[in-house]
Amino acid sequence: MTVAYGSPPMVVRTSAYVWVLSFVTGPGTVSARQKLAGVSSASESFLNARADIEPVRDDWPYLYYNPSTIPLVYLASLVLIMVFGWFSVRSAMGNARSGFLAGIDWPMFFMGAAFLLVETKNISQLAILFGATWLTNMAVFASVFIVAILANLIVERKEVANLPALYAALGISLLLSYFLPFSSMTQLSLLSRAALGGTATALPVLFSSFIFAKMFRETRQANNALGSNILGGLLGGSIESLSVFFGVRAMVLLAIAIYGASWIAFTASHRRMEALPDAAEAVEKL
């Protein structure tokens, strides 16, 4: 608050029995201090404690995190969720006993991991424009569902562009959201913010939904594909915690890398599938 407003905030303690502090800063601080003098139950307190705290910014919106420490409780909770979720989903897939990684649809796995990173990135970026509220979260989740349903309906009814073109469009749209100055967009009108911010955050979801729908339509084992996608989502939701070390925007670059891994895995699996008929034909000739 001192960095943002240029002066230390006024700290108000409203009760002698409950340690609740209110921070007052900005142009109205002088008048607030004058009004405070007439309130008998409140007093101005002073914070004597000092800590090496990194100021909160748009790319690092972690008010309660000390950057010089590692959140072991948080990371341990994520590990427990990953382990429980992994064995639960693997059991539902029906091949949990065939090996730890057997039966994983790797293209769909990486798609799920990157998608969760993009979704959390969208929440953080739109919160800059519209506030970190439940309404913003609801708008992000609702838009994801709507875009995903539309992508599935389109793929079901007509042939969409080939996957290389979709992956290229996905990467470009993610780079757009990476370089777009969301902080500067706060000076625009509400409609302009909604148009620019909504487009920048919706395009990656649209293209990834097209890719997911096209892959899922062509898969031969729907249970493995969907289960692998859920497992990837668990991983993506967990590694999103890396943003406390590298910032929110860095997660965009990580999502691009994971989507790239999905494309590589998809290409490799298709080459293996194309090689199977040739191998079977060679066996028959022998």
Q: Are residues 11 and 102 in the same domain?
A: no
* Total domains present in the chain: 2
Q: Are residues 39 and 94 in the same domain?
A: no
DSSP secondary structure of 164-217:
HHHHHHHHHHHHHHHHS-TTGGGGS-HHHHHHHHHHHHHHHHHHHHHHHHHHHH
Q: Are residues 37 and 156 in the same domain?
A: no
Q: Are residues 122 and 184 in the same domain?
A: yes
Q: Which domain holds residue 176?
A: 72-277
Say which amino acid occupies 20.
V
* DSSP 8-class letter at 105: -
- Is residue 89 domain-resident? yes
- pLDDT, tens digit (0-9, with 9 covering 90-100), for 62-90: 877 777 777 788 888 888 988 888 888 87
Q: Are residues 6 and 102 in the same domain?
A: no
- Is residue 57 domain-resident? no
Identify the pLDDT of residue 279. 47
Identify the pLDDT of residue 280. 43
Q: Are residues 21 and 155 in the same domain?
A: no
Burial 191-202 (b: 16+ CB within 10 A, else e): eebeeebbebbb
- Is residue 55 domain-resident? no
- Is residue 249 domain-resident? yes
* DSSP 8-class letter at 245: H
Q: Are residues 82 and 40 in the same domain?
A: no
Percent of the chain at pLDDT > 70 equals 88
Whether 91 and 103 have beta carbons less than 8 Å apart is answered as no
Q: What is the CA radius of gyration of the chain?
A: 25
Beta strand 43-45 with 21-24: parallel, antiparallel or unpaired?
unpaired
- pLDDT, tens digit (0-9, with 9 covering 90-100), for 232-262: 999 998 888 888 888 889 999 999 999 999 9
Identify the pLDDT of residue 98. 59
- Is residue 110 domain-resident? yes
Q: Are residues 108 and 243 in the same domain?
A: yes
- Is residue 113 domain-resident? yes
Whether 111 and 211 have beta carbons less than 8 Å apart is answered as yes
Q: Are residues 120 and 185 in the same domain?
A: yes
Q: Which residues contact 71 (CB under 8 A, 6 or more apart)?
A: 65, 241, 244
Residue 277: pLDDT over 60:
no
β-partners of residue 114 are: none
How does the average pLDDT of the chain come out, rounded?
A: 83
Q: Are residues 12 and 115 in the same domain?
A: no
Q: What tokens does 69 get?
A: 């420490």
Q: Is 93 exposed, middle or buried (0-12, 13-18, 19+ CB in 10 A)?
A: buried
Model confidence, pTM: 0.81
